[in-house]
Amino acid sequence: MDGGDGVTDAPSWWDDDDRLLEELGHAVREARVPESFVRAGKAAFAWRTVDAELAELQLDSLLPAREPAGLRDEPRPDGSGPRVLSFAAGELSIEAEIHPDAVRGQLVPAQSGAVLVRDDDGPVREVPVDEVGWFVIEPVPARRFRLHVRTSAGASVITGWIDARP
C-alpha cells in the first residue's frame, strides 16, 4: 500500500495514504471556484479580435472652449458639476462624467454593450453597458485611462486618453 516498488525518493504525498487523501481533498476543493470567477475569464475572449475605431474628443468641460461660447450648443459648466467629456466616432457618441466616486457614462444613441477600461499597462477591467446605454466605472481609475466600447450591434470604438485627476 506504500507503493514499495523501489521508489525511495517519492514525495510523501504520494506514498502515504493519509497524505494522498489530504492532498486529493485540497485538489478537489480548490477546483470549486465561484462561477462568477470563471465566467469573467471566459467573457474576456470577446475582446480578442476587436479592432477599434478612434473616438475623437468633442468636449472636455475642463478645457477652455475651442470656439466662442456663443456658438456652442452645450451649456458651459459653471465649475460646480462633474467634469464632462464627450467623444464621437461616426454616429456613436460616448459621454462620460467624472464624479468623485465613479465615472458615469452613456452611449448615444442608447444601446447596450460593454466597456473595457484600459491604462498604460493594458486592459484593466470590463463593465457592462445597459439597454439605455448607461455604464458605471467605480471607483474612478487612479491612472490615466481610455475607454474601449463594444456595442451589441458590433461597433467598436476607443476613446483618447482620459486623466481623471489632471
Partner 1 sequence: MRDDPVVVDLVLRAREGDAAAWDAIVERYAPLVWGVCGRYRVTGSDADDVAGGVWLRLVERLDTLHEPAALPGWLVRTTQRQCLQLLRARKRQVPVDAPEPGARGEEDGVDGEILVAERRHALRTAFAELPARCRELLSMLFAEPPASYAEISAALGVPVGAIGPSRGRCLDRLRRSRALAALQPA
**Residue nearer to partner 1 on the CB measure, 76 or 125:** 125
Burial (0-12, 13-18, 19+ Cβ within 10 Å), 91: exposed
Does 100 contact partner 1 by CB under 8 A? no
Q: Which spans in 31-106 are helix H?
A: 35-43
Site for partner 1 in 48-77 (CB under 8 A): 48-49
For the CB of residue 12, give the shortest distance to partner 1 in the complex, in Å. 12
d(CA 144, CA 91): 26
Distance CA 57, CA 93 (A): 10
Site for partner 1 contains 132 (CB under 8 A)? no
Q: According to the binding rule CB under 8 A, does residue 45 interact with partner 1? A: yes
> Which of 64, 90, 142, 153 lies at the binding interface for partner 1 (CB under 8 A)?
142
Say whether residue 125 binds partner 1 (CB under 8 A).
yes
Among 27, 51, 70, 73, binds partner 1 (CB under 8 A): 27
Strand positions, DSSP E, the chain: 53-60, 83-89, 92-98, 103-108, 113-119, 122-129, 134-137, 146-151, 156-159
* Cβ closest to partner 1, residue 21 vs residue 63: 21
Interaction of residue 165 with partner 1, rule CB under 8 A: no
- Give the burial class of 88: count Cβ atoms within 10 A of its Cβ; 0-12 exposed, 13-18 middle, 19 or more buried: middle
Positions in the binding site for partner 1 (CB under 8 A) = 1, 3, 7, 9-11, 13-14, 17, 20-31, 33-34, 36-38, 40-42, 44-45, 47-49, 116, 121-126, 142
